[in-house]
Each structure stands twice: as C-alpha cells, then as structure tokens.
Amino acid sequence: MASRGDLKDNGAMTKEASARRPSASHWGAFDAEVRNGRVVALRPAAEDPQPSPLVQSQLDALYADNRVSRPMVRAGWLEAGPGGRRERRGAEPFVAVSWDKALELVAGELARVKSRHGNAAIYGGSYGWASAGWFHQANFQLHRFLNCFGGFTAKTDSYSYAAGMVLMPYVLGSKDLVAGRSHAWDAMLGNTRLMVMFGGLPLKNTQVDFGGTLAHTTADWLRRIKAEGTEFVGITPHRGDLPDFLAADWLAPRPNSDTALMLALAHTLLVGGLHDRAFLDRHCIGFARFADYLTGKTDGVVKDCAWAAAITGLGAADIAALARRMAMGRTLITVTWSLQRADHGEQPYWAAIALAAMLGQIGQPGGGIGFGHACEGGIGLPRERVANPRLPIGDNPTGSSIPVARIADMLLHPGQSYRYDGRTHRYPDIRLVYWSGGNPFHHHQDLNRLVAAWRRPETVIVHDPWWTAAARHADIVLPATTGLERNDIAASSRDPFVLAVHQAIAPVGQARNDHHIFAALADRLGFGRGFTEGLDEMGWLRRLYGELRASAERKQVAMPEFDRFWAEGKVAIPAPDEPFVALADFRRDPERNRLPTPTGKIELFSDTIAGFAEPDCPGHPAWLEPVEWLGSPVAARYPLHLISGQPRHRLHGQLDIGSASLAAKVAGREPIQINPQDAAARGIRDGDVVRVFNDRGATLAGAVVSDAVMPRVAYLTVGATYDPLEPGRPGSLDKHGSANLLTLDKGASNLSQGPIAHSCLVEIEPYRQPAPRVTAFEAPATRN
C-alpha cells in the first residue's frame, strides 16, 4: 500500500452536494449529514430511545480551532536534537514541517533508539477510548507497528478496573466478570427482590460504550426491573449516582469505607446464622479463615456493626437492618468500577464476593454478584457472546511491560524494582515515548509529578486530532483523523449490534489516519508489507468482518456478507436463548464446571495471595486503612474527600471542547459540587470560582452548592483539559478544574499497582483574585 493511502477516497465519499452517511461512536449510532464536503449535522439513530447529547459534540470538535492542522515539531527539539530543552516541554512553540520531514524525523528517532538502547527503551503508551471502530483503534495500530519493529514496553491492565482485574483470577478464576461479562438485565426481571448498589448505578455512564452502541436502553431495563417489584439500596457519597425513578434508599458512608461496611454485613449474617452453609461448603474454599477474621479470632477486632459504624459514619442499627434485609430474599449485589480505584482497591471487590457467597445466591438468576453495571452502556444487555473484530497486533518480542498506572514511576526511576502480581520487576529505561490514542494528562494521577517525569525521555511522539495536553507536551505531533474522517466497524462485546462507520468527509487539514501514518513509517523502516499485509483500509475491514462472521457462525448466529452489511449499516446479534447468569454452570455442578482458580472454587481465602506475603494485600478480604480518607490524620489539614467521577457531558477528557461540556462549565471552569454545610463554613456561593488544593497541587473550579453530595465530600468530574497558568512547570496552578492535579499517584497495593484516584483529600476556598483566563482550547504558539 502506498504511504499516502490516506489521501485516497476508498469509495467512501461521493461527489453529490448532499448526503447522509451511517456512522457510530462511543456515544451512539448516527447519520452524518454532509453538504458540499462538510458535515452540517449528526442525526442520532431512530432506534435510540435516549440519544446522547455527546453525539452532537463530535461536530463541535470536528471543526474546532484547536485541531492540529499539520505536522509540528517542538522548537527546542528541532533545534537541539533529541532531548533538546526537554525541561521546556509544554511551554515552547512548535514549528510546522512537511509530512515527509515529520516521517523522516520519526523514523530516524525510532531507528536511533532501537540501535543504541534496544526496543524496550520505547514506551508504546497508547491508551484510551480513541475510536469505537476496531480497525482504527489507535492503540492496536501503534502496538502492531511497534511489534513489527521489534517490540516495545507495553502496559498491562486498565485504569478503569486494574485492581479488580489482577485480583479476580485468584478469587473467581477470570477477569470477565469485572470487565463487563456480568448478570444480564433480563435475568433480573421478576427474580431480583433487592438490589444493593455499592457505588450506585450512574446512568450518565451508560451514555457511552467502548465499541459503540445503537440504542441506549439501560434506563428502560431498570424501569422494567423496578416494575417487577425489585427494591433498591444505593450506597454512595453522591446521590447523583442513583436514578431518581428507582426511589432507592440512600446510604452515604464515608468514601473508601465500603469494605468495612461489607465486613460488618458479613459478620451480621454469620452471627445470626443467616449465611448459606451448604453453598459455602460446596462452592467456596477458605470460609473458616475468613470467619475467624470477622469474629476477631485472627486479630482481636470483631468486625461487627458498631465497629463499622465508627469507620463508615453510618448507624450500627442501619447496617444490621440492611444485612437482615439482604438475607430475606433474592439479592443482587452490584459494585461499580469506581470502588476499586482507591487505596487497597482489591478489598471491596473481594469482600463483596464473600458477602454474596454467604448469601448463597451466586449463579442464581437475579442474585449473587455483579460488577460494572451502569459503568458502560452495554453492560447487562442481552447478547450472544460473539467475538469482536480485532486488528491482530502480533507478539511483543521484548516481553517488557509495566502496570498501566505506573508511568511516572517508570520515567522517574529507571531500573528501580517494584512488586506486581506476586513477582519482583524492574522499570525499563525509557528513551522514547510514542503515544497514539488517549491522553495521559487526563487519566493519570498527580499531574505535577507526571509533568516532571515527562521531562525524562529524549523524545515524545504523539498522534492527535487536537492540541490536547498530551500533544502540547510532545516533541513531534502528527495530526490524526477523527471517526468522521475514516471507515471502520464499530462493535461492543456487550451491545447487540455491529455497526458500519462510513467516512463522512475527507480529512480536515493535513490529518491522516493512524494506519496510514504507520504504513508510511513501516515503509521507511523496511517492513511495510509486514505491517499492511498488502491490504488498504477497506481490505482490512472486509477481512475483519469476515473473521467476525465466521466466529458468529460457530455460535449459530447468521450474519450477511460484507457488502450487504456495509450498505445496510448494521447487523443485529441476537440474545441468547436463556438470560445470562454469571457462574450459573459452576453453581449447578462445581465439580464438573470447576473455576480456573488454584482450587477450582471461589477462594474466600487464597493461599496463593497469602504466599506473596504482601503487607498491603493479605490472603482474605480485610479492612486496611487508606492512605487518605476522612478518618486519617491528613484530614486535619485537608478535611474534604474529593471524588473525581466520570462526567455526564463528555467521555473522560474527550469532547471537552464540545457544546455539551462547555455548557456545563461554571464560570468557564469545571464544576465542583460541595455540600451546603461545607460551602457555608467557607463562605462559598453558587457560581464562585474556588481554589481546590492539597500538597500535590491546586486547580480553579466553579462552585455548585448541592445536597446531592454528602457533607465533607466534594465532587469534581474528571477530564477537564489541563490548563496550567505557567505551562511546562510542575506545581503551576491549573486554571480549568483538572481533578488529577490533586489525586495521589500510588499503587492500590503491591498485588495490582492499580490507580487510587478516589483516595484523595483536599481543601476548598474562594478564589479572591481576578480569575485567570482559561486557555485550554487555544492552540499553542507555532511558526513556519
């Protein structure tokens, strides 16, 4: 394939003055209305009962002033070579260069680093929701390219649920239940008597799904479940996590204290004889040792309701009443991903499994345990399990990787040892960071620390459609296309539709598809044929769809041939004959359907984890005090617990420049919710610009006084574009409400090393000075 294949039409665009093209995104399916080569409107799919307003925000972003219009190189790097003035990353102007020059520089840097330092010195950091389409997934493209080049240092796990993913194979034998293979909604209809929602069921998160969706139906399913008689209890510091129509009972414990609450519920079941001894004996291992911990035989501390009341702030009688209520009938315990993004984040997941096991309803329709319900739109939807199309990335010859949230540690401490998943590892010495898709300056914690770490590599290369914080802190920036500028196939492993993504317009400015950029680089580096396999964009889509169709046929699911699918724009994946119930086969016959744990059973005590001898993750669920929470000494100086939840008006940091996100700003900044008691004590009123700060940094946000957040808790959604007052300087005041200026960059434990964004204490005060202008959406200074 020619390296300039990105300029080809591929038959996707016609010359008529007006047309509609079917497409899809993380926010839903839609038609793009095109007039004279320009997208003028995005029309949500007619089948969608609750279309997301974020669909329209894509149009705002498509033509935004901060699009990267052509290849750019940071002035200091261009003038002084690799490593040149790297302390000025984020502050220096950029120099426009031609595509040929940019590709020459990138290929030369890759060859230099490989020759002098080896492939493990390249960090392929692509991470994030870059595309709902599976061919143009930026991280797949980057990782395929780097594997063809000889390998790289990769990441493992996910910021969304790293602690849960590492823990779950030891307890349930698989990561699937954490990653969304959870109880289907139709299994709950008429079966679930009580749903206890740790972290709530935040409907705002159901407006997005990793692989796209045709229709947003979670709210409809919940209404049907409630109409069948299910009662709901929501356990969260933020009432906004509970849909109003559920009329859920709201319990608001101190953040990070859920494990203590679960242990007290388990203790109440134990001493009251309300636990299912037969299920525990046949399906579980280690209950006796867990029971010894609950009763205090292990450590002298009885984990009863009075003990938990002192930790959680809830009433002991309320905790006991909830335990008895859970034991009265079919109960489903749901746990959001957010609970494990905290210090010792493995523990609430493990404790929730133990609690569900004691109730004895795991594997029954509408009972047991579920993770991530309402954390994405597709979780819980009935759908036959057919594999998604997936660009093959090949094997990484280096075998080098780090836990996903340990980027700053890796850059700051090359060669340092660390513990992860029962083994000792060492951080590689990274000389080149290559980032395509995602934005580390959105999803990583303690951004001031990251800014300092980001100065260490000799070269940083970024593909991006916009001047995000990642692009601003790069040395070489290559303009990438958006989903509206390319063809693809969108599909979620949970949503019951596969969707055709038709290119709506030619690339804006000089943007190119990631695939075409990597194909051109592969040509220069001598493995062009190996990377493309002789296929162009549409050739790859035909191949990936063919593999999907073959996988479906093995499940007795019929799918049309590619041309019909492409013309019709979608194909349905049917629901299974029976509602999906997690662990149903194991419950029915645990001897014939053993779990892939060391014992084949649910491990309430894990000899394997105990054998790792990690002081911050023992062999059974336990209450371990977080490094920062309202019961810690730090609270004397920083008395508010900051929850940085996902926004309803964008996806993570994506579409922050869109109309939905901009309309949600307060005083031009990210809104922060604060309880009326806390606001009054600080002289804060609705709409004030406030300074939110701790020892790690400070940011300016717009105050929203609301009783939806419990006292001593503040709620600042994550993803506001990082906008430092003094670009490139660690410690600079952020002007725009970036939550990760404040969050702590520490692993959840030596087991998982997961992120702990929700273990964070802050103080808030009115900002009495003239508030600086927000410049987050302006392009940096450039010169030709």
CA angle 180, 181, 183 (to 5 degrees): 105
Q: Kindly report the CA angle at 193 between 187 and 198, in degrees rounded to 5?
A: 85
18 SS3 class: strand
Write out the two tokens for 16.
């008529």
CA atoms of 739 and 460, how far apart (whole Å): 24
Following CA atoms 775, 450, 211, 554 in sequence, which dihedral angle do they give, to the nearest 10 degrees? Answer: 170
Q: Are 498 and 491 in contact (CB under 8 A)?
A: yes
Question: Is 129 noted as a catalytic residue in this protein?
Answer: yes
Residue 255 CA neighbour count, 13 Å, CB half = 33
Backbone angles phi, psi at 644, to 5 degrees: -110, 80
> Which residue of the set 99, 127, 337, 349 is catalytic?
127
The alpha-helical segments, DSSP class H, found in 454-590 are 469-472, 514-525, 528-532, 537-554, 562-568, 584-588
Burial class (CB in 10 A: 0-12, 13-18, 19+), 198: buried
Residue 675 corresponds to which tokens in the numbers above? 């309880």
* Phi, psi dihedrals of residue 420, rounded to the nearest 5°: -160, 125
- The active-site residue out of 99, 129, 545, 638 is 129
C-beta of residue 293 within 8 angstroms of C-beta of residue 299: yes
In sequence order, the β-bridge partners of residue 371 are 335
Hey, is 709 helix, strand or coil?
A: strand
Helix 287-295 vs helix 346-359: crossing angle, to nearest 10? 110
Q: Is the dihedral of CA 128, 130, 133, 139 positive or negative?
A: negative
Closest alpha carbon to 29 in 14, 44, 49, 19: 44
Edge-first strand order for the sheet with 497-501 is: 488-491, 497-501, 570-572
Phi, psi of 550 (to 5 degrees): -65, -40
Distances, alpha carbon 678 to alpha carbons 253, 597, 643, 711, in Å: 17, 47, 15, 7
170 catalytic per annotation: no
Tell me the backbone φ, ψ of residue 488, rounded to 5 degrees.
Answer: -165, 180
Q: What one-character DSSP code corresponds to residue 144?
A: H
Cβ neighbour number for residue 92 with a 10 Å cutoff: 23
CA 145 from centre of chain: 24
How many residues are recorded in the chain?
784
Question: What is residue 264's DSSP assignment?
Answer: H
What values do phi and psi take at 15, rounded to 5? -100, 0
Q: Which amino acid is at 774?
A: V
Catalogue the active-site residues: 127, 129
